[in-house]
Structure 1
Amino acid sequence: MGQVIIEFLSSTGIASITIQQAIMIIVSCFLLYLAIGKGFEPLLLVPIAFGMLLVNLPLANIMGKPETLLHFQEITNMDQAASAQQGTFSVYMETVMPGGLMYYLGQGVKLGIFPPLIFLGVGAMTDFGPLIANPKSLLLGAAAQFGIFFTFFGAIALGFSAQEAASTAIIGGADGPTAIFLTSQLAPHLLGPIAVAAYSYMALVPVIQPPIMKALTTKQEREIVMSQLRVVTKKEKIIFPIIVTIIVTLILPPAGTLVGMLMLGNLFKECGVTERLSKTATNELINIVTILLGVSVGATANAAEFLQLKTIQITILGILAFGVGTASGVILAKVLNKFTKDPINPLIGSAGVSAVPMAARVSNTVGKEANPANFLLMHAMGPNVAGVIGSAVAAGVMLSLFK
C-alpha cells in the first residue's frame, strides 16, 4: 500500500514542481489580484494571468507540441509508384500524441490571426470624428510614437537584437494587440514578458501619465479651454477608413493587416448598412478573441523563458517608452501653440498613446483639476485614436526593417 502511495505522489505535479515554476505561479496570482482586486485591465489581464498559471503547473502539458512519427511504406504497385513519382516508397506522418490545448490556440498568435481580429473589433467601437474634425490631432498621435523609436535605440545599447529591440520598444505605443502582433513576428520568445509589460502599463495610465503631464506644463497651459469641434458629416466618416487604408497600405504594406482590419471595423460602424456585422465585431467576436488571445499569450510565459534578466530590462524599457511617448505628445502640442491661431491644451498631447479611451480620460481629468469648467475629452479623443493608427504604422515600419 505504501509503495502505491509513493508511486502516486511521484506521478503528481507536486513532486515535479520547481522553484522557478512556484515563483511564476505566485506572479500569476499577483496579476490576478491586480486585475480582479484593483481593476487593472481585467478583461485582458485575467486571461493572461490564468494562462500563465496553467503553463507553469508541471506535467499538465498545456503547451506540449504534438509528437509525430515518420513512416516509410513500400509501394508494391509499380504503376502507382511511377505515377506518384515517389519511387518504391511512400512517406506519411502519424501523430502519436496530440499537443496541448494552448499549443493549438497559440497558433492564432503565432500566425498573426488574433491581434488583427482584435483591431477589427476596436475599429467598430471607435469614432474617428474628433480626428477628422481636428486633423492636427494626427500630428500629436504621431509624436507620441517617438517613445517607440527612442526606446529602440536604448534596447540596442543594452545588447538586444534589432528584432528584440523593436518588439520591446513597441510597448511605448500602449497598444497590447500591436505589441503582441509585432513580437509574434519578430521575437516570439519574448512574447510573455512583453505582453505582460504592455498590458500592465496600459492599466497604469492614470498613475504614470499625470506626473509627466504636470511636470511639462504650467497651470496656465492646463487651463486652456479649446473651441468646440465642428460636426463631422456621415460621408466624411465613411470615406475616412477607405482613404486611410489605401494610403497607409500603399506607403507601408506591412502595416496593412492591422490598419486594414481597424478600418474595416470602423467602416462596419459608419456605413449604416452592416449593423449586424458591427454588433458582432464589437461584442461576440472581440470577446471570444480576447479570451483566446489572452490565455494563449499568458501560456507563453513559462518559467524558463520568463525568469531572465531580459524580462527586467523589458519592464524598465517599457515604462521608459511609455513615458517618452507621453512627454513627446505634450511637447509637440506646446510647439504647435506657437504656430496655430486656436490654442491647444497641451494635455491632449499625452493622449497620443494608443490606450483608448483611458488616455483621453486622463487628459480630461488633469484638465478639470486645473479648470473645473474645462472639458477636454472629445478633443483628447482625436490624438487618442490617431495613436491607434500611429502604433500600427510604427509596427509596420519595424516589420519592414527587421523581418
Structure 2
Amino acid sequence: MFETLLPFFQAMLDQTGLVHFTFGNFVMCVLGCVMIYLAITKHFEPLLLIGIGFSCIVANIPGPPDVPGGPAVSALLYVVKEGGLFHFAFEGVGKLIIPPLIFLGVGAMTDFGPMIANPKLVLLGAGAHLGIFVALIFAKMLGFTMNEAGAIGIIGGADGPMAIFVTMKLAPHLLGPISVAAYSYMALMPLIQPPIMRLLTTKEERQIGMAQSRKVSKLEKIAFPIVIAIVVNLFFPPVAPLITMLMLGNLFKECGVVDRLAKTAAGGLINVIIMILTVAIGSTMAADKFLTVQTIQIVVLGLVAFAFGTASGVVTAKIMNLFLKTKINPLIGSAGIASVPIAARVSHIVAEQENPNNLLIYHAMGPNLAGVFGTAISGGILLALLGAA
C-alpha cells in the first residue's frame, strides 16, 4: 500500500518548492527572523527591519517547478525580474526615484535649528566621515575596483538613500548587498556605537553638560533650505537631486503656508515609500546571491566604516575641546554620521545613562544633521573623482 502511494506523494512534493530548499535558504530565513525579532522586541528601527526581514524570508522560499525562471527561484524573485509589484518596487530604487522622495519626507520632518544655532558642530559632521575613506581603502586592498570601493565606502555615511544613489552611479551590480548593509547597520546602531563611544571617552567626559542653544528665528529657518539648495546645486551637482528634495521638504515645513504638503511629505508619502523600499531591499537577499564571499566582504567593510565613523566623530569632538572655552560632550561626535535621528538618539541615551539630567538630544541633532551634508559632500567627491555622471 505504502509503495503504491509513494510515487503519488513524491509527485506532490515535486510540485512544491520544498525539494529545492537549501541550507543557504534556511540561513537567510533565520536572518530575516532575527531582523523581525530585533524590530519587535528591541525596537531597532522597526520601520526598516520588519519589511526587510519579511521580504528576505519570502525571497528565500523556492517556487514550484512551473514558476518561470526555474524551480529554485522564488515567486517573489521572479516578479522582481519580470514585472509586477516587486518589480516596480525595485525599479523605483534602481532608477533613483525613491531616494529623492525619501529625502523630501525627511526634510519635511526635520528641524535644522540645532545646526543653525551652533554652527561649530558642523565640524563633527565632517569628522565623523573618516569611515567612508577607510572602508574605500580596505575595499581596494581586497581587490574591488575603485568604483566598487567608492560605493562600498559610502556605507559609512549611514545614509541609506545616499548609499543607494552613489551605488547606482558607481557600481549598480552591488546595490543589493550595499543597501542591505547600509540600512541594517543603521538599524543596529544602538548595538554598534555605544561600546566604541565608551571606549574613547572617560566617565567625566560623558557627564559633560551643555547649555541651551540660542533660539533660531523663522527667517533663518526659511532662508536655510534656499541657501543650501543654491550652494549644493552650484558646487555639488552630482548629489543635487537628493539635497534639493531634502531642502524642498524642509521649506514646506518651515514656511508655514503649505501645511498640507508638509504633512503629506512627512506622513503618508514617506510611509508608502518606506514600505516599497524595504520590500525592494529585502527581495535582493536570496541565498545564492547574498551568501557569497563578496557580499560577506561588503558587510564586514560596512561595519568597519560605521565603527571608524563613530570613532572619528568622538575623537574630533575631543580635539575641539582642546581649543574651546566651553566644552562640548564628546558623545555628540558619534552623531556626526548621517543616520537621522538614530545617531543623535544613541548619543543622548549613552549620556543619560551616565547622568540622568544630561539631555543631549537637541545638541546631538546639530552634528547629526550636519552629517547629512557631510555624506552628500563625500558622495559628490566620489562621484566627481571617479567620473560618474
Verify same fold: TM over 0.5.
Answer: yes
For 2:45, the equivalent position in structure 1 comes to: 41
How far does residue 351 in structure 1 lie from its aligned partner after superposition?
Answer: 0.8
1:44-55 to structure 2, matched below 5 A, reads 44-55=48-59
For 1:18, the equivalent position in structure 2 comes to: 22
1:381-392 to structure 2, matched below 5 A, reads 381-392=365-376
For 1:193, the equivalent position in structure 2 comes to: 177
1:24-173 to structure 2, matched below 5 A, reads 24-59=28-63, 60-64=74-78, 99-173=83-157
How far does residue 6 in structure 1 lie from its aligned partner after superposition?
Answer: 4.3
How far does residue 4 in structure 1 lie from its aligned partner after superposition?
Answer: 6.0
How far does residue 5 in structure 1 lie from its aligned partner after superposition?
Answer: 5.2
Match of 1:316 among 296, 300, 304: 300
Separation in 1, partners of 2:218, 2:125: 23
Separation in 2, partners of 1:214, 1:20: 37
Separation in 1, partners of 2:308, 2:359: 25
SS in 2 for 1:280: helix
Residue identity opposite 1:182 in structure 2: V
Across the aligned residues of Structure 1 and Structure 2, the Cα RMSD in angstroms comes to 2.1
Confirm or deny: 8 A CA contact 2:127 2:313 kept in the other structure: yes
For 1:352, the equivalent position in structure 2 comes to: 336
Max Rg structure: 1
Residue identity opposite 2:330 in structure 1: P
Residues 326-374 of structure 1: CA distance to partner in whole angstroms, max 9, x if unpaired?
1111111122222233322212111101222222222223323444432
Separation in 2, partners of 1:144, 1:372: 26
How far does residue 35 in structure 1 lie from its aligned partner after superposition?
Answer: 2.2
TM-score, normalised to structure 2's length?
0.89
Match of 1:244 among 215, 220, 228: 228
Residues 263-287 of structure 1: CA distance to partner in whole angstroms, max 9, x if unpaired?
1111110011110000001110000
* CA pair 16-373 structure 1, distance change in 2 beyond 3 A: closer
Identify the structure with the greater strand proportion. 1
Confirm or deny: 8 A CA contact 1:189 1:305 kept in the other structure: no
Separation in 1, partners of 2:334, 2:169: 28
Separation in 2, partners of 1:169, 1:347: 23
Residues 193-250 of structure 1: CA distance to partner in whole angstroms, max 9, x if unpaired?
2223222222222222222222222233223222221110000000101111111221
Separation in 1, partners of 2:104, 2:284: 24
Separation in 2, partners of 1:27, 1:375: 35
Residue identity opposite 2:52 in structure 1: I
Separation in 1, partners of 2:336, 2:182: 16
1:164-313 to structure 2, matched below 5 A, reads 164-313=148-297
Separation in 2, partners of 1:36, 1:190: 29
How far does residue 139 in structure 1 lie from its aligned partner after superposition?
Answer: 1.0
Listed as ranges, the gaps of 5+ residues in structure 1 are 68-97
Confirm or deny: 8 A CA contact 1:227 1:342 kept in the other structure: no
Listed as ranges, the gaps of 5+ residues in structure 2 are 64-73
Confirm or deny: 8 A CA contact 1:110 1:185 kept in the other structure: no
For 2:363, the equivalent position in structure 1 comes to: 379
Once the two structures are overlaid, the 10-residue window that deviates more, 16-25 or 142-151, is 16-25
* CA pair 223-9 structure 1, distance change in 2 beyond 3 A: closer
Once the two structures are overlaid, the 10-residue window that deviates more, 154-163 or 264-273, is 154-163
Separation in 2, partners of 1:401, 1:308: 29
Residue identity opposite 2:256 in structure 1: G
Once the two structures are overlaid, the 10-residue window that deviates more, 43-52 or 186-195, is 186-195
SS in 2 for 1:62: helix
Separation in 1, partners of 2:382, 2:97: 18
Residue identity opposite 2:309 in structure 1: G
Separation in 2, partners of 1:369, 1:170: 31
* CA pair 38-192 structure 1, distance change in 2 beyond 3 A: farther
SS in 2 for 1:257: helix
Residue identity opposite 2:78 in structure 1: G
Once the two structures are overlaid, the 10-residue window that deviates more, 14-23 or 99-108, is 14-23
Q: Identity of counterpart residues, as a percentage?
A: 55
Residues 175-196 of structure 1: CA distance to partner in whole angstroms, max 9, x if unpaired?
2222223223333333332223
Confirm or deny: 8 A CA contact 1:167 1:182 kept in the other structure: yes
Confirm or deny: 8 A CA contact 1:40 1:200 kept in the other structure: no
Residue identity opposite 2:265 in structure 1: A
SS in 2 for 1:64: helix
For 2:70, the equivalent position in structure 1 comes to: none
